Amino acid sequence: MSASSRGLGKGLDSMIPKKVTKPKEPKQDEKKKTTEENVSRETLININQIEPNKSQPRKNFNEDTIQELADSIKIYGVIQPLILQKRDKYFEIIAGERRWRAAKVAGLKEVPAIIKDYSSQEIVEIALIENIQREDLNPIEEAIAFQKLINEYKLKQDEVAERVSKSRTAIANSMRLLKLDDRVQQMLIDDMISSGHARALITLEDGDLQHQVALKIFDEKLSVRETEKLVKKLLDPVKEDKKEKDNKYEFIYKNIEEKIKEIIGSKVQVKQKTEDKGKIEIEYYSKEELERIVELFQTIRQKQN
């Protein structure tokens, strides 16, 4: 069965039965066709016969939340069965590794499970969808999973987006995080910086510089906007210095314009040509207004003489 026909884009619930129903008794001439492979039913599996899926995108598990789930399992048991696939000498987890870990902490010997048969691509997709739905993946784990679907299974970004119910832009932005220096990726995993900070750092090609700026973000608690401004300055220091200088002069000239306006009673603009040269423009709105301004300058001149 193809990945698309299983309803991967609709979420994990559309792929896994919510409850186990007893299959109808097949007719006598159809009994031979009924096998364990085409009947999905819940069964108890020895917890020691189960192993994690090596393609599981999630690599980091919070011990506190695992313990909380284990405490709940001690009282209520494992409510939702694991989804497993039979291997030669063990069962591999397709969905439910967090429940399996918590069950081990809780001391269970067996866990409820449904044995399914999926392709390697479908296993990756299911594990990814389950974690995305529960918001269990950090940004780097998610990006690696998307990259795996594209590189190993030759899916396009649009196809990945459809399977995990995200936009193509979200997939592209996620995968761009893998361009970051490994140290910066780890800081993102450890919540020392946010995804917004990380995306701002991508434009810095030098890994050491990325790391230095990331440390500055963490130490000085820079906002994403402040980080973007800092990165722009690092990429084009001359342009940014000129911009800051222009802003400084603009502030000064605004003050001068206000002072002249108070003296002559009309709108004034100071326009800079060079650092030391420029021109002053005085607006007037009638012939009488112009005559008043001229008389004002004549009066000022007479006082100076």
Residues contacting residue 81 through CB under 8 Å, at least 6 positions apart: 20, 42, 96, 111, 112, 113, 114
Residue carrying structure tokens 């701002």 = 200
R_g of the chain computed on alpha carbons:
33
Which sequence positions are flagged as catalytic? 97
The secondary structure element, H or E, covering residue 300 is helix 287-304
| Pairwise CA distance, residues 47 & 39, whole Å | 22
| Pairwise CA distance, residues 229 & 203, whole Å | 12
| Pairwise CA distance, residues 280 & 205, whole Å | 45
| Pairwise CA distance, residues 122 & 132, whole Å | 15
Residue 30 DSSP label: G
Q: CA 127 from chain center: how many Å?
A: 18
Q: Would strands 110-115 and 82-86 be described as parallel, antiparallel, or unpaired?
A: parallel
Read off φ and ψ for residue 220, nearest 5 degrees.
-100, 5
Q: CA 262 from chain center: how many Å?
A: 53
